[in-house]
């Protein structure tokens, strides 16, 4: 019997309370849960694993009337026990394959412990690094986020959800959550429909196309309608236009939260609005307990309940839970395996972005004494980052441990400099200065501890916490070469760090194997390949700052002075900028250095003109002009010069990683179809408008060889 016929059979035998039970998810297994399971009054559990999960599943399968299995969900965001870099760091790899592999090993470990379902990937576009949850996402660009998000879905789910080493993915938070006003978590979002469709919905649609089993509705109010009660995004777009046939789960109590939002008067109305909008399962809160009364009163059609339950059963059947409801605990041997650690180390290494290097890196293997400074150099828990449910600090290999292992403990002197990353007590700085003076070079590990990013962890300032900048200033004053390694969950304003450090490596929160990955890069065992998935501001006052912005009527030139030279009578230099800071970012989207250099030449287009429905090929020759092997991330950007609605100044349309030996040259080609140039016009039609386009191929969003072409109707 195929899945749909099995669902029909189950629905025909289910009572209304049993149907509503499938739509309910409980956190933990509190007292009294056993009776609910036997009654078929719960369909899913959150944060229940191991023996507790087996016990609950046995009650559902063997003691409930219809034997419908439970689905167990858990936040497996960037690893289970083997922790990978935070998702923002994974996006910095510009390598969907390493992202896919990371999700695969996370699924493998989680499934062995009875987890069926993860609440990842998060593909919220975030243009404000003050928002703490930027750490969980894929950055500011919809094309990159779509590539990374789809790779995560494929890694978690594989080609067959019933594979015992795979788990169901959940694309979240649908939709617009990353645009929270002021970067304050849970806050209001105002996103015009065209921007919603062209930017914020793009990675979600990519996840749906990749087969994500579920989506999660968000906390935020979107244009006056809470996302968990938004029929436009859930029913019209997701389930209607995109044909999504999995199920939607609310975020934690986000159905109930429509009451404090001021959108629902009480729990009953919240339940009605949530189900009518398209939420199929309620996480944690109990508003759906009112569904039976709503159906009886004719306020909610039974067909909507049946549709929600059909979707939930469909995912359970695709997962093979009816045939194999219990986890095979013998598979737990894969947890923290050598293979998994290797994947995590590769991901961490590729996520690191080299932002500055005045010839300090790689460090000489013959260095006689290296000073390692900073509390983050030896804090296993902090390098794991936020949203780590099952990873353990003691499993992590820290940078200090890795450098001591590579160089020998006698050649590495360590001083924390501060008691912790947020400390303002400078009493330990003299010891750190003495360690620096006794060494040939200094590596200072600076940035955020794990507790400074994640949900409800927004920041008003983006500089180094505590007395870290004063520590760095003191180290630089010794005259010793200083390499700064930044561990962080977000983009920071690193201008003062750039001034003091001779080399700067952005390592994000790199996960379990972050230490060996960083040591490999510092010592030249491997070369950095990461690229920025977000724009780095000079100061928090520039936020929001992102590369694919619109132009104004008075755009600043690259060399525009901060203070205009004109007057209101003669507005010379009156452009869109600030008086007290350069309008340009500190580092642009897509930026990243290597231990070699690359040159671009001979940009060619297969045609200067193409018709709607056609494609062109853009090719460029990239040469390794340095003395070391390296990987360049070649990036393709376009601009629609004139549109019926104004268009961004640049948009990423492709990227390729190219490994080149010293002196080696290779032609890199991109295919660009006119559909890739489409956007939603004022009538919300997705169109490619004829006209002139600019094109660049280069190393980041700010540089590249230019060309132009025309699309004709």
Left if phi > 0, otherwise alpha if psi is -120 to 50, otherwise beta: which for 626? beta
What CA–CA distance (Å, rounded) separates 329 from 334?
11
Phi and psi of 213, rounded to 5°?
-70, -30
Helix (H) or strand (E) holding 383: helix 380-384
Measure the CA–CA gap between 483 and 486, rounded to whole angstroms: 10
Q: Which of 145, 171, 124, 139 is nearest to 508 (CA)?
A: 139
Closest CA to 601 of 516, 529, 462, 697: 697
Q: How far apart are CA 418 and CA 468, in angstroms?
A: 8
C-alpha span between 340 and 104 (Å, rounded): 10
Q: Say what angle helices 338-351 and 514-522 make with each other, to 10 degrees.
A: 50
The encoded tokens of residue 600 equal 């671009």
CA distance 127 to 147: 18
Q: What angle do CA 580, 582, 584 make, to 5 degrees?
A: 145
Q: How far apart are CA 606 and CA 426, in angstroms?
A: 61
Q: Which residue has the tokens 């694309």?
A: 171
- Selection from 51, 66, 56, 61 nearest residue 26 by Cα: 56
Tell me phi and psi for residue 620, to 5 degrees. -145, 150
Q: Sheet of 170-174: strands edge to edge?
A: 170-174, 214-217, 247-250
Write phi, then psi, for 225 (nearest 5 degrees): -120, 120
Question: What does the alpha-carbon distance between residue 658 and residue 95 come to, in Å, rounded to a whole number?
Answer: 11
Omega into 173 within 30° of 0, i.e. cis?
yes
Cβ atoms of 121 and 138 within 8 Å: the answer is yes
Q: Which residues are catalytic?
A: 251
| Encoded tokens for 402 | 């890795």
> What is the DSSP track for 190-228?
---HHHIIIIISHHHHHHHHTT-SEEEE-SSEETTEEGG
3-state SS class at 89: helix
In terms of Cα–Cα distance, which of 89, 101, 701, 619 is closest to 386? 89
Going through 9-95 in order, the beta strands assigned E by DSSP cover: 24-27, 44-46, 71-74
Q: Is 299 helix (H, G, I), strand (E, B) or coil?
A: coil
Strand stretches in 448-574, DSSP E: 482-487, 503-506
CB-based burial of residue 289 (10 Å sphere; 0-12 exposed, 13-18 middle, 19+ buried)? middle
């Amino acid at each position: 019997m195929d899945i749909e016929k099995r669902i029909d059979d189950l629905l025909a035998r289910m009572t209304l309370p049993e149907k509503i039970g499938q739509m309910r998810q409980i956190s933990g297994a509190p007292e009294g849960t056993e009776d609910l399971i036997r009654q078929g009054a719960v369909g899913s559990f959150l944060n229940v694993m191991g023996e507790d999960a087996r016990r609950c599943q046995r009650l559902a399968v063997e003691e409930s009337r219809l034997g419908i299995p439970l689905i167990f969900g858990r936040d497996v965001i960037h690893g289970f026990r083997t922790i990978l870099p935070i998702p923002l760091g994974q996006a910095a790899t510009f390598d969907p394959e390493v992202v896919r592999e990371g999700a695969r090993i996370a699924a493998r470990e989680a499934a062995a412990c009875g987890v069926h379902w993860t609440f990842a990937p998060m593909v919220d576009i975030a243009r404000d690094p003050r928002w703490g949850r930027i750490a969980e996402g894929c950055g500011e660009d919809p094309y990159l986020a779509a590539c990374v998000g789809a790779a995560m879905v494929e890694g978690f789910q594989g080609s067959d959800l019933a594979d015992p080493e795979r788990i169901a993915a959940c694309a979240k938070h649908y939709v617009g959550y990353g645009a929270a006003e002021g970067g304050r978590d849970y806050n209001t979002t105002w996103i015009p429909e065209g921007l919603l469709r062209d930017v914020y919905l793009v990675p979600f649609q990519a996840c749906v196309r990749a087969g994500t089993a579920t989506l999660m509705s968000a906390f935020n109010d979107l244009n006056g309608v809470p996302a968990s009660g938004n029929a436009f995004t859930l029913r019209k777009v997701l389930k209607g236009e995109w044909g999504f046939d999995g199920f939607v789960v609310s975020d934690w109590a986000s159905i109930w939260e429509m009451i404090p939002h001021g959108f629902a008067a009480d729990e009953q109305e919240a339940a009605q609005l949530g189900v009518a909008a398209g939420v199929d399962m309620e996480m944690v809160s109990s508003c759906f307990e009112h569904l039976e009364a709503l159906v009886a009163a004719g306020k909610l059609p039974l067909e909507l309940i049946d549709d929600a339950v059909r979707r939930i059963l469909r995912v359970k059947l695709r997962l093979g839970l009816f045939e194999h409801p219990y986890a095979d605990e013998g598979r737990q041997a894969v947890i923290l395996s050598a293979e998994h650690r290797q994947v995590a180390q590769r991901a961490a290494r590729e996520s690191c972005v080299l932002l500055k290097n005045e010839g300090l890196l790689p460090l000489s293997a013959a260095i006689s004494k290296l000073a390692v400074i900073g509390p983050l150099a030896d804090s296993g828990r902090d390098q794991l980052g936020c949203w780590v449910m099952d990873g353990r600090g003691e499993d992590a290999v820290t940078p200090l441990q890795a450098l001591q292992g590579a160089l020998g403990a006698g050649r590495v002197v360590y001083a924390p400099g501060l008691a912790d990353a947020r400390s303002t007590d400078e009493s330990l700085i003299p010891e750190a200065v003495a360690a620096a003076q006794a060494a040939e070079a200094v590596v200072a590990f600076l940035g955020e501890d794990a507790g400074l990013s994640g949900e409800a962890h927004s920041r008003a300032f983006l500089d180094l916490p505590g007395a870290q900048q004063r520590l760095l200033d003191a180290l630089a004053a010794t005259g010793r070469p200083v390499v700064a390694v930044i561990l962080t969950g977000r983009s920071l304003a690193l201008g003062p760090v750039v001034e003091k450090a001779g080399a700067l490596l952005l390592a994000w929160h790199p996960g379990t194997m972050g230490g060996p990955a960083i040591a490999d890069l510092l010592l030249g065992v491997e070369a950095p390949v990461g690229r920025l998935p977000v724009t780095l501001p000079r100061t928090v006052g520039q936020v929001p700052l992102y590369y694919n912005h619109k132009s104004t009527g008075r755009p600043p030139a690259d060399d525009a002075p901060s203070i205009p030279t004109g007057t209101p009578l003669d507005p010379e230099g009156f452009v869109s900028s600030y008086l007290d800071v350069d309008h340009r970012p500190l580092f642009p989207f897509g930026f990243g250095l290597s231990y070699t250099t690359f040159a671009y030449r001979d940009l060619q287009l297969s045609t200067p003109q193409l018709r709607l429905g056609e494609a062109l090929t853009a090719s460029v020759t990239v040469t390794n002009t340095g003395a070391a092997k390296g990987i360049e991330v070649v990036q393709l950007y376009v601009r629609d010069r004139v549109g019926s609605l104004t268009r961004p100044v640049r948009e990423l349309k492709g990227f390729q990683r190219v490994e080149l030996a010293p002196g080696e040259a290779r032609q890199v080609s991109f295919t660009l179809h006119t559909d890739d140039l489409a956007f939603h016009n004022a009538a919300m039609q997705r169109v490619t408008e004829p006209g002139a386009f600019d094109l660049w191929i280069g190393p980041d969003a700010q540089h590249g060889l230019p060309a132009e072409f025309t699309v004709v109707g």
